[in-house]
Chain A
Amino acid sequence: MLDLQTLIDMRYQVVAVILFCIGFATLFLHPNLIKKVIGLNLMDSAVFLMLAAVGYIDGGKAPIIVDGITDASYYINPVPGGLVLTGIVVAVSTTALFLALIQRLYYMYHTLNLDEILLLAKRSEHY
């Protein structure tokens, strides 16, 4: 069952899940758009932490062959690292689009609060 030792052994995963939940809640529930962006990044970072923790093998070196050692157990798993890199690129581009959108919305409505923006937009309905 869940005991302290498991929690300590799985600390990266536990932290990752907690971070993911915080990020998810912020993105989903917080009315401030900038905080939503922060929540999005927190959520993505949590996933990256989880991936990096999965790929790490205790005592392993970076997966680059130097001294001719081809024994796989000597290195850490490179695949999660690749995934994290790809994920970071995706997160950066989503964040950029998000921030650009927020900037435009701010010019138009002079607020960053999504609830207020929705109210203002409802008044000038143009669907």
Chain B
Amino acid sequence: MPFVNNVPFFSIFIAMLGGIVMPLIKNGRIALRVTEAAAAIIGVLSAWLLCAVVASGESFTYMMGHFPAPWGNELRAGPLEAMMALAFCMIMILGLEGGRRDMFDDISAHKQNSYCLMLNLLLASVLALVYTNDVFTAYVFIEINAISACGIVMARRFGNSLVAAVRYLVISCVGSGLFLMGIVLLYTCTGQLLMPGMDTAVQALAASGEYRVPLLIAVALVAVGLSIKSALFPFYGWLPNAYASATTSGSAVQAGLISKGYVILFIKLIYRVFTLEVMRDLHILQALFVMGLSGMIIASIRAYQEQSTKRMLGFSSAAQIAYIFMGIGLGTHEGMVAACYQILAHTITKPLLFTSAGMLIRSAHGSKNLHDLRGTARKNPLAGVGFTIGGLSLCGLPLLAGFAAKYYLGVAAMGDPKKMLFALLVLAGSSVLNAMYYLPAIVGIWFPADKGAAEPLAEEREDKGFILSTAVFIGLNIFLGVAIGPMIKLIELGLSLL
């Protein structure tokens, strides 16, 4: 076995190790640095893994403790998994750097290491969701993910953060309970927990028509559980408050990582266990398609009505997640590729918006109301540029990541004559709605309500972390917007090797 095959296990292990050492580090700044270093090491390892699997052109299974298939626990890695792991590590570092100041202000000094512990745990669980080959392991890490995400929300000790955290925990428990019931039913039908074994059993059941109702219920429970966890319409009620009440880096990391991990697990389950044909046969894809379409419109309308900047971004996240599920719901290979592209685009764009908004909110002396942010971009031009690029990307301006994702979603929708009309109409409508709330916000931050108030804040020293993170975010955004061809090829390779 080549040494690079150990990378998936090492990645999860390093992230967990990072979490374990956090209670020993009392200083918040060092804790943050260690967290970033862990993420950086994992990122480098993932990049190495990505190069290796692309060069070899095949994915591999890693047996934990060398126990063969039915007994042991397995990880599986290919280009898609490695790419997502790399993206998540980058977002982790950039999000933390961008929101560093707010983190030290918002979280009491003796809690900062616990906050970093939660971040490490979150990264470990997301990586495990990406790499795992075993559905029960996936369930365990879904719960770990929920607990760490909840910790990140409640780290900021305002009443509202606690309320948001408890609502998030309740909805999370509902979602993971449904998912657990779903995999238990799948286990009783198939007698398998590893994805490859379950795959053959599910195909045999689908072909023979036996246990059709239990199979339908099991797949539906898994799908509903994961869509609750990833905040698909109509289950997105918890999301805006959870994102809005966390500290800046917490919001950025959440928006970039949490729901994406579940979606990738879902895509893996579709490709490796259920297959598109069975999902279509059971009418689950159609249901997801409708939920995606409704979410794209309704979450955008809610965002349009919102006055609080961070809640607006939260609703916009819900709309973007609906885009992903719309792509999955198309039920074609192109739809899946588009969904993966949308995952990447949103993972890159939304943390940029959250870190920039965090800086603008600082310039407005802590007020999150869109009105009070007027003219703040003059005080902090880089944050203004970041917010502008992020917002324009989500509106679908060409050469930016959001445009590429929407374009490819549109192309994918053409493949299905029945769904094409709805998908394209809703895509257009949702883009208009996005523009309707992002453009006024962007214009607002550049033009102050009263002239002459636009002096740059004297006490704000240059924040190198924020400058670096914003620059890299913008670079990544433009890269994803321009390099459509190679990225699509990479995603196609990854999906075909799942």
Given B173, B193, B244, which contacts A94 in the complex, CB threshold below 8 Å?
B173
A20 to B221, CA, bound (A): 13
A98 to B171, CA, bound (A): 12
Is A101 within 8 A of B241, CB to CB?
A: no
Q: A residues within 8 A CB of B308?
A: 127
Interchain nearest-CB distance for A33 vs B (Å): 7
Q: B residues within 8 A CB of A97?
A: 147, 150-151, 169
Interchain nearest-CB distance for B267 vs A (Å): 24
A126 to B241, CA, bound (A): 10
Interchain nearest-CB distance for A65 vs B (Å): 16
Is A121 within 8 A of B173, CB to CB?
A: no
Is A50 within 8 A of B177, CB to CB?
A: no
- Which A34-81 residues sit within 8 Å CB-CB of chain B? 36, 40, 43-44, 47, 50-51, 54, 79-80
Q: B residues within 8 A CB of A90?
A: 139-140, 143
Is A44 within 8 A of B177, CB to CB?
A: yes
A115 to B342, CA, bound (A): 36
Q: Is A5's CB within 8 Å of the partner chain B?
A: no
The 0/1 profile, CB within 8 Å of A marked 1, for residues 306-331 of chain B is 00101100000000000000000000
Q: A residues within 8 A CB of B150?
A: 97, 101
For A20, the closest partner residue in chain B by CB is B181
A102 to B166, CA, bound (A): 8
Task: Give the interface SS of chain B, mostly helix, strand, loop or mixed.
Answer: helix
Interface size class of A (residues with CB under 8 A): 35 or more
Is B163 within 8 A of A117, CB to CB?
A: yes
Q: Is A83's CB within 8 Å of the partner chain B?
A: yes
Q: A residues within 8 A CB of B169?
A: 94, 97-98, 101
Interface size class of B (residues with CB under 8 A): 35 or more
A80 to B310, CA, bound (A): 44
Q: Is B160's CB within 8 Å of the partner chain A?
A: yes
Given A28, A43, A80, A105, which contacts B166 in the complex, CB threshold below 8 Å?
A105
Interchain nearest-CB distance for B16 vs A (Å): 15
- Knowing A97-B150, A101-B154, A105-B162, say if A127 contacts B174 (CB, 8 Å): no
Is A43 within 8 A of B160, CB to CB?
A: no
Q: A residues within 8 A CB of B368?
A: 127
A20 to B184, CA, bound (A): 13
Q: Is A86's CB within 8 Å of the partner chain B?
A: yes
- Which A99-127 residues sit within 8 Å CB-CB of chain B? 101-102, 104-105, 108-109, 114, 117-118, 120-121, 124-127
Q: B residues within 8 A CB of A87?
A: 180
Is B310 within 8 A of A127, CB to CB?
A: yes
Q: Is B136's CB within 8 Å of the partner chain A?
A: yes
- Knowing A28-B174, A40-B177, say if A108 contacts B184 (CB, 8 Å): no
A126 to B245, CA, bound (A): 8
Q: B residues within 8 A CB of A114?
A: 166-167, 170
Task: Specify which of A23, A33, A36, A94 lies most central, judged by the most chain B CB atoms within 10 Å of its CB.
Answer: A94
Q: A residues within 8 A CB of B151?
A: 97
- Knowing A47-B181, A86-B136, A127-B241, say if A101 contacts B160 (CB, 8 Å): no
A34 to B114, CA, bound (A): 25
Q: B residues within 8 A CB of A102?
A: 166
Q: A residues within 8 A CB of B139?
A: 90
A90 to B177, CA, bound (A): 11
Given A27, A28, A40, A108, which contacts B162 in the complex, CB threshold below 8 Å?
A108
Is B184 within 8 A of A51, CB to CB?
A: yes
Q: A residues within 8 A CB of B173?
A: 27, 40, 43, 94, 98
Q: Is A6's CB within 8 Å of the partner chain B?
A: no
Is A47 within 8 A of B184, CB to CB?
A: yes
Given A47, A51, A94, A121, which contacts B160 in the complex, CB threshold below 8 Å?
A121
A27 to B441, CA, bound (A): 38
For B70, the closest partner residue in chain A by CB is A79
For A89, the closest partner residue in chain B by CB is B140
Is A125 within 8 A of B160, CB to CB?
A: yes
A54 to B192, CA, bound (A): 13
Interchain nearest-CB distance for A100 vs B (Å): 9
Interchain nearest-CB distance for B360 vs A (Å): 15
Could you show 28 A-B contacts with beta carbons less than 8 Å apart?
A23-B177, A24-B177, A27-B170, A27-B173, A27-B177, A28-B174, A33-B166, A40-B173, A50-B181, A51-B187, A54-B184, A54-B188, A80-B187, A83-B136, A86-B136, A86-B140, A90-B139, A90-B140, A97-B150, A98-B166, A98-B169, A104-B162, A109-B159, A114-B166, A117-B166, A126-B245, A127-B308, A127-B368
Q: Which 10 A-B pairs have the closest CB atoms?
A: A127-B244, A121-B163, A90-B143, A127-B308, A43-B177, A40-B173, A54-B188, A101-B166, A108-B159, A105-B162
Instruction: A97-B147, A125-B160, A127-B244 are known; give 20 further A-B pairs, CB within 8 A.
Output: A20-B177, A24-B174, A36-B170, A43-B173, A50-B184, A54-B188, A79-B193, A83-B187, A87-B180, A90-B143, A94-B169, A97-B150, A97-B169, A108-B162, A114-B166, A114-B167, A120-B159, A121-B163, A124-B159, A127-B241
A interface residues (Cβ-Cβ under 8 A, vs B) = 20, 23-24, 27-28, 33, 36, 40, 43-44, 47, 50-51, 54, 79-80, 83, 86-87, 90, 93-94, 97-98, 101-102, 104-105, 108-109, 114, 117-118, 120-121, 124-127
